[in-house]
A and B are shown apart, each in its own frame.
Chain A
Amino acid sequence: MSDAGAARPATDWPLFEVFIRSRSGLEHKHVGSLHAADARMAIEHARDVYTRRQEGVSIWVMRSADIIASDPAEADSLFEPARDKVYRHPTFYAIPDEVKNL
C-alpha cells in the first residue's frame, strides 16, 4: 500500500439518498446518492452535485440505511394479488358506443 493509505479513514461517511423537487407542484423524485458526514452536509453536497443547473427548488435527503426495500426475488409473490384483477381498470367494462360521457 502507498503512503497515501496511512491517513485514510477506515470507513466512508454515511450514504444518503437524494430526492429533488424540480419545481413547485411536482413531487420529490429520487436522483441519486452521496456521502456526507451529517444531514446538513448532505443537503449542501446535494445542491452542488445534483442542482448545478437549477434542477430543483427543494431537496430531501435521508440515510440510505433507513430505507426498507422489497426483495426483488420475491417480486412475483409480492405483486401477485394484483395480477388477476383487471376489473380495476376502466377498459374492463363494455359500454355501448351510444352511451356518452362515461
Chain B
Amino acid sequence: MTKQSILVKLTELFIDFFDDDLIRLNEKSTAGDIEDWDSLAQVGLILLIEKEFKFKFNASEVGNLENVGAMIDLIFIKQL
C-alpha cells in the first residue's frame, strides 16, 4: 500500500473505532485532535491496526509514535 492509501485506511479504522464520521486524519494528527483518543483507546487502535494490516508492532515502536504520520511511516515499513 502507498502511504496515501494507508492514511485512507487508517481514517476508516479511526471513524469506525471512535464511531465518529467526522474524523479526518492527516499526517500531523495527534491524540490531541480527537477527544476520545486516550491511552486506553490507543491500546484498542494499535490492536485494530495490527489486525487490519496483519502484522505485529513491538512495544518500542508503539511508544515512539508521535503522530499519524509516524504511524503511517511505521506501517509502510512493516508491510515491506
Say whether A and B bind each other.
Answer: no
* B contact set with A: CB distance below 8 Å: none
* Residues of A near any B CB (own CB < 8 A): none
